[in-house]
Every structure is written in structure tokens, then in C-alpha cells.
Structure 1
Amino acid sequence: MEPRLMNNLRVVLLFFILISTASCENDLDLKFCGLWQHGKGSLSLNVNLSKGCSGISVSANQSALSIEGQITAQCKQANEIQLGLNLKEETPFCLYWDPLLDHLMLQVGGKNLTLCYPGSLKGSSCCTDLSDGPKADQAPYGIKNGIIKTDFISSKTRTHYNFTAQPINCKMLCDQQSQQSTRGNMTERAAVKSFAGWNIEHPCARSSEVEMTEDFRGVNVTSPFSKGESAESATTVHLPPALKEAAKKSNKVVCTFFQNNSLFQEVDKEARILDDVVGITVENEIIVNLSEPIRIAFHHDVIPKTHSRSCVSWDTRKDPLQVNWLGDGCEVGQKGEKYTECLCNHLTYFTVLVQIKPRPVRHLLALTAISSLGSAVSVISCVAVIVFLARKSKRCKEASIHIHLGLAVSLACLNLLFFFTGVLANVGGESVCVWVGALLHYSLLCSFAWMGAEIFHTFWLICIIFNPSPKPFVWYTVGFVLPAVPTVILAAVGDIYGVKKVAPSDDINNPYLMCWMKENPKALLAHYFTNMTVTMVLVSSGFVMLFMVYRKIRTREEWRQNRKAFLSIWGLSCLFGTTWGLTFLDFGRLADFMLFISCILNSLQGFLLMLRFYMLDWLRKESGGSTLGTSSTGSTRQHMLKAQEQGKRDSEQSCSSHALYAKMQNPFQRK
């Protein structure tokens, strides 16, 4: 045979193969996207869906987007949903349809709305092969830039798009798609579905129906999908007898098994859900708060110990625009590297959420013990300082006493709340932690505010020695009222304070619970704008103030007395809050060491404050019994920065820094 004839035959054969392949495949999914041209004001979504397979229409006008038609096998819905979105006059949207699962979802304004929840069709007629029907007229409001999958249709603004459909046997379509998945020919379908994290193992769901008889004592339902040759690797659901008692209208329970996590909304980018998802429903009933939990045993690939896992449910009871994976009502039972048991007290869709990028804390138990012990000691120490300063204020009118008193009170509240935060989080839960977290944040900001007041007061006494310092009510306003402003604003915004989980590196699945800011974008933004920003300003200001004091005293003869020099610098460091700067050094090889040092110094800050006042009082007695000032600069000046000329000082003059400074020619002038 001639080579030319042979080539022609090969081309003809290839052409028939392509035709036969194309003829046996159906245009399975629908992805229709466009720009909704609408007016300003309230927007709504009108949904009118019924069973059948005639087609679907997507229309839009100035105030509403409408989806109606016959396209579903089991889903029937007719309602109006208020979008309530503050959108521009052009809003992108996409409509997704999966006939194998009877799943219809709309994405509008960056949010996902499930119109028909996924399920098993059981050999029903699937509605597929949707194609664009008759063209609509152009209008000022409607749908612009219509796209079907990747095919651009029209740039004009049309009032509606009509899609006609053809019914097909679901089993045949499912077998066809399974064969494509086996051959690895799922590129086009995976490209159509634009959500991240799609992992298609089997395109169809399988369901099992259980009849709960009068003598129902519980039953195990096993998924037809298995991870290996053994049936023991399949997902298993145990329905307890309590489910029979809770179901009032129906005795039938349907367990649907999915191997396609792409059906559900995205989760956090740092987490993923298992490929296996289980849906448990009782028709026309909402089952919650079961007295005995449903047990779901998931078998999966190996989950490293550094990755936390939690049992979650797809909440379909609230606003459909807020459907997401939640941990409410579920907890982890037995678990292993390839096995996780979930205990849940309600019915919906269930799976396991795995944290991909864990942030475990090394030596969490030791750090917790140090913090708790240090907080307890600091609370007792701060109470002693408060009593000492309260007595001192009766005979001394020095402004610095009010600042020291405010710092001691705020540190006492901070350490007291931190000591009990773990207990309150475990006992009270989210409702209690909203208030405790806000109070803890307020106490922290108060402590920072009073440390800033110490820095400013020291600067005032050094640079403006002949002017009276601000009145006590000014300091109290700055220290107690000003920190309340951001705390009240964040509490009003909501979803900021609550239970925070701190995962230890040795057992990441048993996190330490505390009341603080949550781990969500809003709380993280609040943390950086309040805590981190204030800490950076405080620490930098404290170091600048310490440097100014050092430059004034480094040539003095008293500086050579190491004990007094160390006491002054160390005491000012404690008051100025410079130890909080260690929190920024938690990186590199010395991260663990710096974390321990920071934990020790900051948790014992109240004790160090008491120790400073005790040492000052001891030095006063050692120096001859004269009463020494207790201000941040008072102790430094009276111990180290002696004036060139000092007159006679009685106890009243020594209590008033400004009276003493008025008698000084120039306390910071070098000799």
C-alpha cells in the first residue's frame, strides 16, 4: 500500500475516533458568568425552581436578579432573598450547576449562595446539555458580558438569558464521568469549576436510606466508597436510638456519601477539608441537640502530628449567604494517623477540617506554668504596692505617686484576669470570653498607657523642671479612660473577642483555651493596630528615655556606685515597659530562650515593681532615714543625680519633686 494512502486512512480513522468519543460525552456542567447592571439601593434575589428538565432562565433588572425554571431532580424552591449588599452598579456573578449532584450555587458580590444542596440522585433523570436559547433585547439594566464556561457570548446588556436542557439517565452519565476520571480526562471539567481545592475522585454521590422502626436500637451505615481493598477503610456512620426519639414527622434517615469536597464552600487557605463528606438528613425536619451523638468514622491518609484536626459541620440553618464550616455541635472522639471519629449532636453535612499550616507553640506547658505563677505573684505584689502608695499619698502630694498607683492597679487587673483566663474559657466558653477578652485587652492597654505616663512624666521633670506637672485627673483620664475607647469600638464591631486556641507542638490536637482576641482577619487587624503599634511606640520611647537619663548621669561620681546605678536603670526599665520589647525577638535560634525570658519578666512585672519600691525604701533608711521621692526620676535624682548644691531637705520637701528641683541650680549639669 502506498504511503500516501496509508496516511489518508490514518487521518480518516482518527477522525471517526474523535467523532465517536465526542458523541458519547455530554456537556455536563453549566458555568454562566456576567456583570449585573443594576441601580443603587436595596438588591434582592428571586428564586423559583421546580422539578423537571425544560431549562433555566437568568434575568436581571434595576433591583433584582432572578433565577427560575425547571432544572432540578429533587430540589424545589420559591422565595426572595434580600442580598443587602453595598455593591457598585456593576456586580459580577456566576451560576454553577452540577446535574450529577442536583447542586445549584450562585456566587454574587464575592459571596456564595447555595440554591440547591447536593445530594444523591439514585438513577433519576439528570438535566444536562444546557445551551443558550433565544436572544433577549438590549436594555440599560440587565446582564452584561455573558460567558458560558470559557466562551464569550455577548458584550451587550441583555435583560435575560435562557438555557434549554436535555434529560439523560443519571446512572449512564455517572458511569461516563467515572470512566473519564479513571482515564484522567477531567481537565475541562476541573477548569470549569473555578473554586480552589477541587479534588474529584468520584463525580457522583451514594446514599443509603434507613427505616427507623419502633424497636430501633441504632444502626451502622457504611459508605460504598473505600480507601483500599478492605471495606474497613470506608466511612461509617452510627445512628443512635436518640435519633428515633428526636424525629417526629418521619422515620426515614438518608445518609449521603460524597467523595468530592468541591461541592462546598472554600475554607481558610491555611486549612482544608477531607475529600469525604457525609450528609445526614431526615426529610422536612431539623434535628438538633441529640441526647446521644451521631458517630462518624472517617478513614483518610496520614495526618501529621503537627497538623491539627477538628470535626466540622456545614451549617445550613442560618442565612444561606453565611453558610460555612463550623465546629459547633461536633467534637473529635477517637483518632489516629489514618482515622478520625466525629461525635455530632445534629444533622447536616459533616467532615474533618485539617489545619495545613499549623502555628504550634513549643514548651507551651512550661510557659503556661511560668505565666500562671508569675501572674499570681504579681497580683499579690501589686496589692502590696497599692497599699504602700495609698499610705504614701496621704502625706506626700507628689504627682508621680498617682502615676505609680495607676500602673499598679492596671497591672493587678491584668495579671488577675490572665491568671483565670484559661479556667473561664473552659467553663464559660464563647459567651463569657467575649467579656473577659475585652476586659483583658482593656487592662493591657491601661498598663501600656500608665507606662507611657511614666515616660512622659520623667521627660517632664527632666526638661521642664520649673513648670508644674499635669494634674492627677489628667493622668487618670489618660490611663483609664483613653484605653476604653478602642476596647468599646472593637466590642461594638463584634467578632473580635472570644475563645483563642493556642496549640502546643507536642499535642496540637489538644489546644490551650484562653479568653482573648479570636483568630480571624478582623481580630488580627485589631491586634496589629492596637497591641503591636502601642507596644512598638512604648518600647521605643522607653529606650529613648533611658538613653537620655544615662547621658545625664554617666559622668557622675554616684554612677560608680554599681548598686545604685543598677537599681536606677533597672527600676526605670521596669516602669518604662522596655521588657515588652523582648516579644519582638521571638525568631531565629534564640527564639525559645527569648520567649522564656520575655514570659518571666513580663509576668513578674508586678513583683519587680514591688521589689523596686522596697529597695528604694531600704536605700532611704540606709542613707540616714530621709524620705525619698518615689517618682521615676525622683529615685534616680535623689540616689544618683545629686545636685551640685543641695539645701536642707525635710520630709515634706523630699516628697515634692518640684519643691526639691526648685532648690537645685542645675541637677543635670556635668561637674
Structure 2
Amino acid sequence: MLQVAPALTDGLTAVVLVAALLALGSGENDLDLNFSGTWVHGAGPLSLRINLSTGCNKLSVSANKGSLTIEGQITSQCKRSDVLPLHLPSKEKSDFSLYWDPLLDQMKLEIGGKNLTLCRPVSLQGSCCTDLSLGPNAPDADYGIVNGSIKSDVITEKTRRAYTFLGQSISCSVLCEQALNRSNTDKTRGKARNEHLCAGTSEVEMKDDFKGYVVTSPIKGASAQSAAIVHLPPALKQAARQTSKVTLSFFSDNHLFQEGNNDVKVLNDVVEITVENEVIANLPEPIKITFHHEIITKMYSRKCVSWDARKDPLQVKWLEDGCETKQVGGNHTECQCNHLTYFTILVQLKPRPVRHLLALTAITSLGCAVSVISCFALIIYFCRKKQLKEQSRPIHLGLAVSLMFLNLLFFFTGVLANVAGESLCTWVAAGLHYALLSSFTWMGIQVFHTFWLVYRVFTPSPKTYIWMVVGFVLPAVPVIILTALGGIYGVKKVTPSDDVSNPYLMCWMTDTEQALLAHYLTNIPIMIVLVLSGGVMLFVIYREIKPRAEWSKNRVAFLSIWGLSCLFGTTWGLALLDFGPLPDFVLFVSCTLNSFQGFLLMLRFYMLNWMRKQAGRSGLGSTSSGSARQHMLQPQEKNEMN
């Protein structure tokens, strides 16, 4: 069979690819460039070389053993010439993607998990360089770019030293009209395509009698209800000393403004406010920007942010510094900022904000304080009742100790997170996690021991030291492992829905993927097992005590069952039901019952002790070895033991 030469195959592939891209435009200009590939480099130091200038000639992407070079005449306004070090993972290959948007005059490079902005977005210019077609091929090499592709279409699988793209100059206004028409056509055909609206620009002349000015987004197609509105304060005139002109640029196409973080996203418009050749900051009266957007449900938080380019001008870094989120409505957000740069709304996709955080914090603090006192009283009670030959006493004592430790740490976790710092907070978080696992373990021991009392009446209970090892030593194992791994415990931010710029700090597992995985592997499984076993235990207890005449006559029997449900951890299962139409109600009930669990534990023992005394006075009691055994054994079993 006749084989086609490799060079001819690559040439045909390139021709077909270019023809396909030209046909895709259907007579219109192909808008942007998305070129990607794998850089085959050495193991030594790496660098990025940038040499961009204005014009419309060509764009070259080349690579060798130690550097990746992006150069050419392609921009309308951007000029850049830099050599920057690249700190990439210790591999000999690195994937990269280069994006070019002529309407925004923006170029962005993704490499090694970083998004580098080589040319910042600007408003619509006079001339745009577009229709970038593939130029002549560079020779093969040992180091260079392999699997070069345009919009996921592979050009060649060989390692090439460089790729060249030839541009064509066109009026930016004409290109913008074509982009708008193409977007409207796709909408009519029902195709899923993001709108690509051109940036709009407004200029404001601040005269001597300047008393503030309101600017509405001039972007074509933006209605009064959806346009961004900027209010410039009079203080801006005093801050701008060299010029009296303010330039405002409105960007609706925000896909190149994203940070690359899957947890957050830029919402709708981005507004740039500048005064030529001046840095404006710390305004005594803030600039107010009202963003109108689609309705955001309360399960997602949002905050006003500005682009900070001080530390790393190549990377998009949205910060809250200098901006406050005000007048948050369902479909609009007002930002008040004291400086000039790019502004937008950043939506936090996870974790979701907590509603009524202040009220929940107050309930939790009160409940933890009461529970600590209650558990301490229980510990003293059990220590003084050493003469009682009750098998359950060590288990009750272990649960009281673990719950007291848990509530004590949780009561101070907010204070320690704000005062102590990251290092101490790491150990406090580890201790809090250990106390939680220990409490869950002791609740599980309670369930197992109750089953033992009900179904193995004449079999001795396991020794006390076994319970101590299971309840106090076993929970320490996963905590020690997670602490040794590092990055699991630290300061956690809990975002309130009513004030997203002021999160509540606590010492707990961080928001990293490793910490989330540790949470699902340690806390969730034991909670599910505890809830299921507690539910089964409630059913067994109810079935055992329902036929008893003395229980049916006692009005506090139900209170005892409810106390058992709190004791065996079924209230923790409410945390798994935080969805549906009543999430706030479930959250308040769960928070109240779990934070007051130490008090409910003390109340249960008080009620059982009172019931034992009542039964003794009525002649129904006996000298049983434990309260649980006394109330759960059938009458004939008690007679046999006597």
C-alpha cells in the first residue's frame, strides 16, 4: 500500500485546518485565537520571553530547552518586552494555552496552573488584528512545541520549534458589528454561545465646578435595567492633580477576566476607571458602582472586588481591599470603592454563605457554655458515685468528658482564630476534631452497650479499659495522621450571607480539597453510622418499654426516650437534612440541640434517677446493677436474677 510522506501529511493537515477555520466564519472574520500545545523543555531554569508591539504583521510562538517566546506585531495599544522566570513543576513537559482577543486587545497565557495576562483588556480601538492564519512551518527539533493545535484541532503531533500566525488588519467597529450579528444569529438558532459584546468607553471632563457625575454603560444592547451605573464623587476632582479627564471602560465579555479558580467566577460586567498617568487611592468619598445582573440565590455569596496588579502584574488577582459591598439585592449589587482600577462582582460558588450567622453563633456560644457546666457537674457526680456497681458508669463518664472538651474548645475557637494566629489555630483545630470524633465514638459505645444490656443479660460487659482505648485512643489515630500530612487544620472562614466582606473565623479544617476529602472520610461516615444505629436503638427501646405497665403510667417516659435520642447522636443527623424548603429551621434546631447536648445529657440522668426513686417507692424497683438494665429488662428476667 502506498504511504504518504510525513511532511506531505502535515502539510495537508494544516491546509485542511486553515480551510475549515476560514469556512467556519461564513464570510466573516475569524475573531480570536486559541492556540495550545505541550512545551518540551529541559529540567533546568525556565523563562518566558515577551516581545509584543503595535501593528498587524504576525505572531510567533517559539520554544527551546529553556525558554518560551511570544513575540510579534499584533496589538492595538499593548507594548511589552520582558523576560520572566517560570516556576513550573519539575517535569520536562508543560501544557500551555495562548488566547488572543483583538476586540479587547488582550492576550492571556495559561501555563503550569497559572493564568498570565500579557496584555490587559482595553476599550474598543480603531484597528484590530484578526484572522490569524497559520504561517510557514518551522523545522522539527528535540525541544519545542508538540501537539500544536488551534481551538482543539491538532495541527501536527511532531515537535516543532515555532509556530507563526499571520494577521489581517480590520476596523474594530466593523469587527464588533460582525461579532454582535454572529451572537444574535446563534441565539436565534438556539445555539449555546456566550455573548461577545465589545467594550464601551465613556470620558468625563471634571471642570472646576465638578460636583460628581453619573455614567451609564454605553454598551450596545444594554438596557437601563441591565446596564452598569457609575457615580463619580466630587472628591475625585481634588485627587486628580495632573489631568481633569476620567476614562471609564465597560466590558461585558468577561471570560478572560476569570482567575482560573473553580470556586469563584466573575459575574457579568467589568468596569475600568482610570485617570491618565495617575494612581488614585484612598478617596475620602468612595466611587459607587451599581451592577445589574441575573438573580443570585442566597446559597451563593458575592462580593465587590478590584483587580490588584501590585504584586504580580501578569496575574489576575481580585481582592476585596478598598471595596465594600452595599445594598445587595436579588439582581443588583452596589460597590463602594476608594481607588481606581478594574471592578467587578465575584461570586463565591462554594462554600455557600450561612444565613443568620450572628444568631446561630449566639445560640452556639450559650449552648456550649451551659453544656460545659453540665458535663462538669456530671463528671463530679459520677466520680462521687464510685460505690455504685453500675457497668455503664465508665461509659457515661467518658461521654461527659469528651463532650465537655468538645464544647469548651468550640466556645473559644472563634476568639483563638482571631487572636492566636495560624500556628496555634492549627493545634486547636486538631484538638477540636479529636474531641468531635471522641464524642461520636462514645455515643456509639453507648449504643453498643445498650444493645448488650438488652440482649445479653447474663453476659459480663467488656472491661473498662477496652472502652477507654476505643473512646479516647482510637479517635486520635486519624487526627495524628492528618496533622502529620499538613494543610488540613487551620483558620476556616465562614461567610455570612448578610455581610460577605466580614467572614467569621474559627479553628477547624481549611477549605482545601485535601481538608474536604478528610472531612468526608472521617466525620461523615461515623456520623451516618451513629445516626442509623441511634435510630435503630430508639426503635428497640420503644418496643421494649411499650408493654410495661409502669412505663405506660409514667408521664416522663417519652422524655427519657427523647433524652436517649440526643445521647445516641440522632440530632447530628439533622446536619444532613440542610436542604429543601426548611433549611433555616433545620439549621436552628440542629444548632440548638447539638450545642445544648451536654445539658440534655445531664437532664436525662436526672430524670432517670428520679424515675428510679419513684419506682422504688412504688415497689417496682429492685437492686439492679444499672439504670438501663433496670428499666429495660422484662419482669420475668428480673425475677430470675433475684
Fold conserved (TM > 0.5)? yes
Counterparts in 2 of 1:230 and 1:133: CA distance versus 1, 3 Å = closer
Tell me which residue corresponds to 1:57. Answer: 60
For residue 34 of structure 2, the aligned residue among 26, 31, 34 is 31
Counterparts in 2 of 1:439 and 1:637: CA distance versus 1, 3 Å = same
Tell me which residue corresponds to 1:300. Answer: 292
Q: Is 1:100 paired with 2:94?
A: no
TM-superposed deviation, 1:350: 0.9
1:199 counterpart SS class: coil
Distance (whole Å) between structure 1 residues aligned to residue 200 and residue 53 of structure 2: 19
For residue 468 of structure 1, the aligned residue among 463, 470, 476 is 463
Instruction: Report matched runs for 1:318-397 at 5 Å.
Output: 318=311, 323-335=316-328, 339-353=332-346, 371=364, 374-392=367-385
Counterparts in 2 of 1:163 and 1:465: CA distance versus 1, 3 Å = same
Question: Which residue identity does 2:32 align to in structure 1?
Answer: D
Q: Is 1:80 paired with 2:78?
A: no
Counterparts in 2 of 1:242 and 1:449: CA distance versus 1, 3 Å = farther
Tell me which residue corresponds to 1:535. Answer: 527
Question: Which residue identity does 2:268 align to in structure 1?
Answer: D
1:141 counterpart SS class: strand
Instruction: Report matched runs for 1:80-479 at 5 Å.
Output: 80-85=84-89, 91-109=94-112, 111-120=114-123, 123=126, 126-149=128-151, 152-165=154-167, 168=169, 173-184=171-182, 198-202=194-198, 204=199, 206=201, 208=203, 220=213, 222=215, 225=218, 235-236=229-230, 238=232, 241=235, 255-265=248-258, 273-280=266-273, 290=282, 292=284, 294-301=286-293, 303=295, 306=298, 309-318=302-311, 323-335=316-328, 339-353=332-346, 371=364, 374-392=367-385, 401-416=393-408, 440-455=432-447, 465=460, 468-470=463-465, 474=469, 477-478=472-473
Distance (whole Å) between structure 2 residues aligned to residue 622 and residue 396 of structure 1: 19
**TM-score with structure 1 setting the length:** 0.70
Tell me which residue corresponds to 1:192. Answer: none
Distance (whole Å) between structure 1 residues aligned to residue 279 and residue 566 of structure 2: 58
Distance (whole Å) between structure 2 residues aligned to residue 384 and residue 607 of structure 1: 10
Distance (whole Å) between structure 2 residues aligned to residue 466 and residue 429 of structure 1: 44
Query: How much identity, in percent, do the aligned residues show?
Result: 50
Tell me which residue corresponds to 1:657. Answer: none
Distance (whole Å) between structure 2 residues aligned to residue 364 and residue 373 of structure 1: 14
Question: Which residue identity does 1:353 align to in structure 2?
Answer: L
Counterparts in 2 of 1:252 and 1:383: CA distance versus 1, 3 Å = farther
- Measured on the aligned residues, the alpha-carbon RMSD in Å equals 5.2
Q: 1:37-91 CA distances to partner (integer Å, 9 max, x unpaired)?
A: 446x56734122242445332223455433234444323141223242366x664
**TM-score with structure 2 setting the length:** 0.73
Distance (whole Å) between structure 2 residues aligned to residue 44 and residue 543 of structure 1: 60
Q: 1:197-221 CA distances to partner (integer Å, 9 max, x unpaired)?
A: 843222x45365889x9x9999657
Q: Is 1:500 paired with 2:503?
A: no
Counterparts in 2 of 1:50 and 1:271: CA distance versus 1, 3 Å = closer
Distance (whole Å) between structure 1 residues aligned to residue 625 and residue 135 of structure 2: 84
TM-superposed deviation, 1:352: 1.9
Distance (whole Å) between structure 2 residues aligned to residue 527 and residue 514 of structure 1: 18
Q: 1:297-339 CA distances to partner (integer Å, 9 max, x unpaired)?
A: 2242564675754212234345578645443442213455665
Q: Structure 1 stretches of 5 or more lacking a match? A: 1-18, 189-195, 626-631, 647-664
TM-superposed deviation, 1:579: 2.9
Question: Which residue identity does 1:258 align to in structure 2?
Answer: F
Aligned partners of 1:399 and 1:472 also within 8 Å: no
Counterparts in 2 of 1:452 and 1:552: CA distance versus 1, 3 Å = same
Tell me which residue corresponds to 1:608. Answer: 600
Distance (whole Å) between structure 2 residues aligned to residue 633 and residue 111 of structure 1: 67
Counterparts in 2 of 1:424 and 1:176: CA distance versus 1, 3 Å = farther
Counterparts in 2 of 1:616 and 1:308: CA distance versus 1, 3 Å = closer
1:408 counterpart SS class: helix
Aligned partners of 2:430 and 2:489 also within 8 Å: no
1:352 counterpart SS class: strand
2:147 counterpart SS class: strand
Distance (whole Å) between structure 1 residues aligned to residue 175 and residue 587 of structure 2: 55
Aligned partners of 2:37 and 2:146 also within 8 Å: yes
Distance (whole Å) between structure 1 residues aligned to residue 89 and residue 502 of structure 2: 37
Tell me which residue corresponds to 2:10. Answer: none
Counterparts in 2 of 1:524 and 1:608: CA distance versus 1, 3 Å = same
Q: 1:585-639 CA distances to partner (integer Å, 9 max, x unpaired)?
A: 45567877765654443233111111122234434555669xxxxxx99321244
Aligned partners of 2:353 and 2:494 also within 8 Å: no
2:255 counterpart SS class: helix
Distance (whole Å) between structure 1 residues aligned to residue 369 and residue 537 of structure 2: 30
Tell me the number of residue pairs that the alignment of Structure 1 and Structure 2 aligns.
599
Distance (whole Å) between structure 2 residues aligned to residue 285 and residue 451 of structure 1: 64
1:154 counterpart SS class: strand
TM-superposed deviation, 1:641: 3.3
Aligned partners of 1:433 and 1:498 also within 8 Å: no
Tell me which residue corresponds to 1:488. Answer: 483
Distance (whole Å) between structure 2 residues aligned to residue 633 and residue 328 of structure 1: 65
Distance (whole Å) between structure 2 residues aligned to residue 25 and residue 566 of structure 1: 77
Counterparts in 2 of 1:512 and 1:32: CA distance versus 1, 3 Å = closer
2:465 counterpart SS class: coil
Counterparts in 2 of 1:182 and 1:450: CA distance versus 1, 3 Å = same
Counterparts in 2 of 1:258 and 1:223: CA distance versus 1, 3 Å = farther
TM-superposed deviation, 1:174: 1.6
Counterparts in 2 of 1:266 and 1:666: CA distance versus 1, 3 Å = farther
Counterparts in 2 of 1:472 and 1:283: CA distance versus 1, 3 Å = farther
Q: Structure 2 stretches of 5 or more lacking a match? A: 1-21, 187-191, 618-623
Larger mean CA deviation between 611-620 and 508-517 belongs to: 508-517
Distance (whole Å) between structure 1 residues aligned to residue 145 and residue 581 of structure 2: 58
TM-superposed deviation, 1:535: 0.3
Aligned partners of 1:199 and 1:261 also within 8 Å: no
Instruction: Report matched runs for 1:571-582 at 5 Å.
Output: 571-582=563-574
Counterparts in 2 of 1:640 and 1:399: CA distance versus 1, 3 Å = closer
Question: Which residue identity does 1:276 align to in structure 2?
Answer: D
Distance (whole Å) between structure 2 residues aligned to residue 276 and residue 465 of structure 1: 71
Question: Which residue identity does 1:200 align to in structure 2?
Answer: H
Counterparts in 2 of 1:473 and 1:529: CA distance versus 1, 3 Å = closer
Aligned partners of 2:64 and 2:161 also within 8 Å: yes
For residue 70 of structure 2, the aligned residue among 43, 57, 67 is 67
Question: Which residue identity does 2:80 align to in structure 1?
Answer: K
Counterparts in 2 of 1:440 and 1:279: CA distance versus 1, 3 Å = farther
